[in-house]
Amino acid sequence: MTSKNKLVAVLMVFVGVVIFAWESRTLNPHQVVRELTHLNMWWLLVATLMMLGSWVVETVVLQVLLRHEGEKLMPFGNALRVPLVEQLFNSITPFAAGGQPAQLVAMLQSGVEGGRASSVLLMKFIVYQFMVLINFVFTIVVAFRTVAVHFGALAVLIAFGMIIHVTVIVGLLLVMYYYRFTRKLLHWAMKPVGWFMGAERRDVKELEWVAKIDTFYAESLQLKQAKRKVIWASILTMVELLMYYSVPYFVLLSLHVSDVNIIEVMALHVMIVIITSIFPVPGGSGGAEYSFKTIFSMYIGNPATMVLAMLLWRFLTNYLGMICGTVAIAVRPRRSVRRTEKLLK
């Protein structure tokens, strides 16, 4: 972890403290303490276990995709390190752009070959995006009308986020099933880009994108052949997402907000994730807290309860991952047995 990454991590924590200090500025401290002392720790424990469990399930997804001829290339401890490192770098980079490269480095440190690691991470990314899309579609059916009626501005952000994610999925499908057309489409799209950056720079960028498309297409061919792996990975990824989306429900129960429906709360959490993903700020700081406070004000009328709910939810879904990811970086991974034997031969 570089000095720059450490600085950003500290900055994100500081921003979080400032946000919660601002939200708490008008609260009665005695009321906040009273809410804390009346927390239902069992429901809070369930919320924590849901978050931790989602990382464990993601670890199993990684092992399923890594499995080759009945063998596991990476021990569970090393595999668990990968999603934890991903959580940290998702939180300290804009649009969570650092999560994917960080996972690759973590796998290389465990002795997984670079080509194999890249292939598995790409398969994992494709499966994840498709499962996210399924959840988004379900969310639109269940809760979008509620948000559109009560919070018009948020509905616009949700729709914009949905368009971005659908565009990503369409792009993946085009490469997988219409490879030649996608390359032509890229060539046409890059022509107007040359008007702004010049023909030479445009050609360099186009070659870079063509290389990425070629790599993705080659990996998608393997993905189509590994149907059993994909099915298992898809099921487990759906479980992972459902566990993650359920966290605010159990947080609300821990604060004795009992008049809630788990399906609706999970659907609303999906919308918050959509909104957060379009903010170009590491961890979606500011946008995450604002959307949570706005959406869940339907259930929580007490300001002290709202601030505590937001604090607990944000800690479990963001800061806990940063803490665990930092610990994971500090732990030296055990090298893969297969990789070690290959190096000795």
Whether 148 shows a pLDDT value over 80: the answer reads no
Mean of pLDDT values over 30-47: 90
Higher-confidence residue: 115 or 17? Answer: 17
Question: What Å distances lie between residue 198 and 21, 156, 183, 308, CA to CA?
Answer: 48, 35, 20, 52
Q: What's the whole-number mean pLDDT along residues 62-79?
A: 78
pLDDT at 87 over 80: yes
Q: Does residue 69 register a pLDDT over 80?
A: no
What proportion of the chain, given as a percentage, has pLDDT over 90? 36
Question: 10 Å Cβ neighbour count for 136?
Answer: 22
Contact 106, 120 (CB under 8 A): no
* pTM of the full structure: 0.88
pLDDT exceeds cutoff 90 at 161: no
Pick the residue with more confidence: 43 or 342? 43
Cα separations in angstroms, 78 against 19, 91, 93, 232, 333: 35, 21, 23, 20, 6
The predicted pLDDT at position 70 comes to 54
Spatial distance between the Cα atoms of 202 and 105, rounded to a whole number of angstroms: 30
pLDDT of residue 287: 85
pLDDT of res. 67: 81
From the CB of residue 156, how many other CB atoms can be counted at a distance below 10 Å? Answer: 12
The pLDDT, as a whole number, for residue 234 is 94
d(CA 139, CA 145): 10
What sign does the CA torsion over 11, 17, 20, 23 have? Answer: negative
- What per-residue confidence (pLDDT) applies to 345? 37
pLDDT given for residue 258 in this prediction: 86
Which helix (DSSP H) or strand (DSSP E) does residue 9 occupy? helix 3-23
Average per-residue pLDDT for the chain: 86
- Res 304 pLDDT > 60: yes
- Give the model's pLDDT for residue 343: 32
Answer whether 62's CB lies under 8 Å from 79's CB.
yes
pLDDT at 42: 97
* Per-residue pLDDT, 54: 98
Confidence band (pLDDT; 50, 70, 90) for 60?
very high
Residue type, 17: V
The pLDDT score that the predictor gives to residue 336 is 54
Q: Residue 327 has which token pair?
A: 């610990």
In three-state secondary structure terms, 68 is strand
- What's the mean pLDDT in 99-117? 88
In three-state form (DSSP H/G/I as H, E/B as E, the rest C), the secondary structure along 109-133 is HCCCCHHHHHHHHHHHHHHHHHHHH
Domain locations in the chain? 3-344
- 96, 104, 127, 226 from 109: Cα distances, Å: 21, 9, 24, 25
pLDDT at 103 over 80: yes
Q: Is 50 exceeded by the pLDDT of residue 339?
A: no
- In this structure, how many other beta carbons lie within 10 angstroms of the beta carbon of residue 178? 12
pLDDT in tens, 164-202: 888 888 888 888 888 888 888 888 988 887 787 888 888
Cβ within 8 Å of residue 82, ≥6 positions away:
59, 62, 103, 106, 107, 110
